[in-house]
């Protein structure tokens, strides 16, 4: 039986002479693989759908482990994202993260919608692009169940403690009396406020933020990498060697 779904194409792989296998983020099912028959042929309707980055409305049929693409339409190809190097690399980083964290049959409709909004906004960002990326990281990791504790001590629960430290393993800030332990590092209320800001801000409002503490950005990346279990993503290396 066929069913309608929305997908973001994370990766396309040529298969045999004419087909493609797509790694996709499905709105209904999390990570899925889709067989797009004939997608290597320029006269095939499936060819326009089977492109990395595409956000599509599709009709699929499940066949054992794989889904078969019946038909569909492209809702957004994020065309402008491919025109600017930095925006393109960060867009690729978003797809690489999803390739790494998504599970099969994992219903992540909120993360799906957030990702579509992120890619839409990312098409036209020209300043402070890394703020958007760090906002995406802290929002995504929170949706996955690892929201950092930024208001109370993660150990004793004290509200808005002074002299705070941030602990990756405890999952947030810790107060002075609890702060003699483990992997905690000193931080400031400004950094924590900035993390809080990026956790809750809408992507389209980031342009109105004047300043973000660099330490907040570093803490978010460290926290994110620790909780997704990966030290570095390949696509970000492209920016280092620019």
Which residues form the interface with Zn ion (CB under 5 A)? 153, 155-156, 158, 175, 178
Indicate the residue among 139 and 165 with the shorter CB distance to Zn ion: 165
DSSP assigned state of 38 = T
| 10 neighbors 99 (Cβ within 8 angstroms) | yes
Indicate the residue among 158 and 201 with the shorter CB distance to Zn ion: 158
Tell the smallest beta-carbon distance from residue 174 to Zn ion (Å): 5
Tell the smallest beta-carbon distance from residue 149 to Zn ion (Å): 11
Total number of residues shown for the chain? 242
Tell the smallest beta-carbon distance from residue 65 to Zn ion (Å): 47
Indicate the residue among 46 and 167 with the shorter CB distance to Zn ion: 167
Using CA atoms in the order 112, 116, 118, 123, what is the torsion angle rounded to 10 degrees? 160
Tell the smallest beta-carbon distance from residue 153 to Zn ion (Å): 3
Which helix H or strand E contains 217, and what residues bound it?
helix 214-228
Indicate the residue among 32 and 153 with the shorter CB distance to Zn ion: 153
Indicate the residue among 4 and 177 with the shorter CB distance to Zn ion: 177
Tell the smallest beta-carbon distance from residue 148 to Zn ion (Å): 15
Q: How far apart are CA 100 and CA 11, in angstroms?
A: 12
What are residue 12's phi and psi, to 5 degrees?
A: -120, 135
Residue owning tokens 């950094």: 191
* The token pair that represents 81 in the structure block: 């994202």
């Amino acid at each position: 039986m066929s069913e309608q779904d929305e997908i973001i194409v994370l990766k396309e792989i040529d298969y045999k002479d004419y087909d493609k296998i797509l790694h996709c983020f499905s709105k209904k099912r999390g990570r899925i693989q889709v067989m797009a028959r004939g997608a290597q042929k320029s006269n095939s309707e499936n060819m326009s759908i089977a492109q990395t980055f595409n956000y599509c409305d599709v009709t699929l049929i499940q066949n054992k482990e794989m889904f078969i693409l019946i038909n569909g339409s492209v809702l957004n190809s994020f065309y402008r994202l491919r025109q600017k190097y930095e925006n393109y690399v960060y867009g690729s980083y978003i797809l690489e993260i999803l390739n790494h964290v998504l599970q099969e049959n994992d219903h992540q409709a909120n993360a799906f919608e957030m990702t579509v909004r992120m890619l839409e906004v990312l098409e036209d960002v020209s300043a402070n692009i890394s703020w958007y990326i760090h906002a995406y990281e802290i929002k995504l990791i929170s949706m996955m169940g690892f929201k950092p504790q930024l208001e109370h001590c993660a150990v004793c629960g004290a509200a808005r403690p002074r002299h705070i430290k941030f602990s990756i393993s405890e999952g947030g800030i810790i107060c002075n009396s609890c702060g003699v332990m483990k992997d905690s590092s000193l931080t400031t209320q400004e950094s924590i406020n900035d993390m809080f800001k990026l956790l809750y801000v809408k992507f389209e409002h980031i342009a109105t933020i004047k300043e973000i503490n660099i330490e907040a950005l570093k803490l978010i990346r460290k926290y994110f990498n620790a909780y997704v279990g990966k030290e570095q993503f390949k696509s970000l290396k492209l920016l280092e060697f620019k």
